[in-house]
Structure 1
């Protein structure tokens, strides 16, 4: 269960982000998946088709990448994001469709993420040298800069060997 997932009674609301949990993760540098401290240095996140394509284009052109539009999705450990890319049906496959909308209809940042939306072509797990965040009265916003690792995927199971290797490194 991602650390930032809100609950409604006994049920997790996977498509939404809990404001208080997300703010705590940002302020305390906690992984948005496992809720454990992230050491100084790179952080990772999973991106969908549009952002994956923008990062690939910037890297191919030798340009730095920075998401100019902030995102609600916080960073995490490398292993956590590799894992998240595989277990989240929406992130894992290009033909996956969202089961629920990501926000209220009047939320301008996520109103395009509607029930039935398709992830689309290549997703990616991306490592960034640093991130910035802002905690506003209603949301937590993140920007990421300095791509240090780009692991694109059509289907996220392509990352299984990388996840195993990362878990082995962590165990040592």
Structure 2
């Protein structure tokens, strides 16, 4: 499947029946990227966020930025971790621009700031799949930039299941 990237180029992504193959440049690898729903404990409003995991085994990262590549070629930054190598443990660290990060061994795990599902018209369209491309920029300890593009498809069937969860929460 072809997708226009933020740099004007088009990239072909490979998919299997289980989804997109993980982006891997031999130094960093996207281990997982998914959509999560949660309910604000103080309100009945349901939020969605993006859940990202990157294997950082080859080189310690100095900075990691995750953005969504929009259909118009623009990039919307979801989170920036300016010190991903400083912590390793069970606790989540909250980022300046929202979201949170947890580092376990060689895995950088981040969850973006939540947005109300009412802002996601694509999520309520259960008749067709929705495809997203995420740009994951990793600056290593030598200040070299690594860019990974990871596609993700939210199937119509999955959206129907999400709709049930959203309806039950409200």
Larger radius of gyration: 2
Q: TM-score if structure 2 supplies the norm length?
A: 0.27
Q: TM-score if structure 1 supplies the norm length?
A: 0.26
**Higher strand residue share:** 2
**Higher helix residue share:** 1
